[in-house]
Structure 1
């Protein structure tokens, strides 16, 4: 018999501990279907754990992750649009009440915007996808053209999530439900080292600690 891998051992622990502790909830979710409170759009970065950093349990979040937590603008063509499809599904079918776009510190996608690798056939989709971050880069260089890299990076990470909210507004279903008053958008930034979240205050036009929102 093969030695159990790290992930197989992890699954065994999940089955014997976490699943067992939440078995009734999982069964209820199967019987009644999912009814998540929010769509969480986050980065694919392995260090970002949406459910963990928000204290959510099974069924609470509909999670969409991609490189850079980017939101492409609405594009009604016949191509494949995974991110757009997830947004539409969450808003029209699941009818979430909130959409959170959460960036994070030390973001590789933001770093790539400022220090790109040479494009190649092997990274053609990544190169194209990162174009969604160009507005954040241009805004950063406009305001902090000579600032140290750390300042540029931190500013770009935060302003990028605000631009993603603007892209969300290009989706007909998102705009309709916002106008109806039953959908709300949020821009967050998660600090990996500190474990803290800041949110964008639209009135003050600045990021503030999430706890201060109460």
Structure 2
């Protein structure tokens, strides 16, 4: 491990994967995937949301990380990884009071999950079944984050020319299994069933 880090310091980082995951303390990409330093460029935020591309002079931390990974590090893959029992997805169904602006940024950020919530409510049979509601929202949210990635000019360009692939994953906290989103069949399957499985 130490030798690997020294090599990375000397030669610089060349990760092939951008991993976009949730800030949830139970989601630990290094342990989940048994990776070493230098293997992945990791972006974590509340809800593993991908804000749509917006060209202005505001501060865009998540967008900056995506641009850096894609346009500077030239990663070959982007993984958006949602997870079970996601507090952000559950919070989409709660009216959060501002309480003197204590969570003003959280409330604004959660707007990125509005489309996933809307689609989930149109599909769910029983919205009072909270477990099913939240699990479906978590998965549908991943699909919307993949769509948001396509709003980034260089992401779209590199996907179109075949130098970049994007993947949607769903990590189940209960047993550590990972599912991937099959975009052709529009459903999640166990990762080991895919060509990039474990």
* TM-score class, shorter: over 0.9
Does 2:92 align with 1:113?
Answer: yes
Does 2:51 align with 1:72?
Answer: yes
Secondary structure class of the residue paired with 1:158: helix
Aligned 8 A contact 2:182 2:189 in 1: yes
1:138 is aligned, of 103, 115, 118, to 118
Look at both structures and tell me which one has the larger radius of gyration over its CA atoms: 1
Comparing 41-50 with 109-118, greater Cα deviation is found at: 109-118
Aligned match of 1:58: 37
Deviation at 1:145, TM superposition (A): 5.5
Aligned 8 A contact 2:19 2:79 in 1: yes
Q: Distance in 1 between matches of 2:45 and 2:142?
A: 13
Q: TM-score, normalised by structure 1?
A: 0.88
Aligned match of 1:28: 7
Please report the RMSD computed on the Cα atoms of aligned residues, expressed in angstroms: 0.9
5+ residue gaps, structure 1: 1-21
Q: How does 1:34-45 map to 2 (within 5 A)?
A: 34-45=13-24
Aligned 8 A contact 2:96 2:107 in 1: no
Does 2:89 align with 1:98?
Answer: no
Secondary structure class of the residue paired with 1:114: coil
1:123 is aligned, of 67, 84, 103, to 103
Does 2:136 align with 1:155?
Answer: yes
Q: Distance in 2 between matches of 1:138 and 1:154?
A: 14
5+ residue gaps, structure 2: none
Aligned match of 2:185: 204
Q: Distance in 1 between matches of 2:95 and 2:180?
A: 28
Comparing 145-154 with 107-116, greater Cα deviation is found at: 145-154
Q: TM-score, normalised by structure 2?
A: 0.95
Count the aligned residue pairs: 193
Deviation at 1:146, TM superposition (A): 2.5
More helix by share: 1
Deviation string, structure 1 residues 76-127 (Cα, Å, up to 9, x no partner): 0110000000000000000000000000000000110012322331111000
2:174 is aligned, of 180, 184, 193, to 193
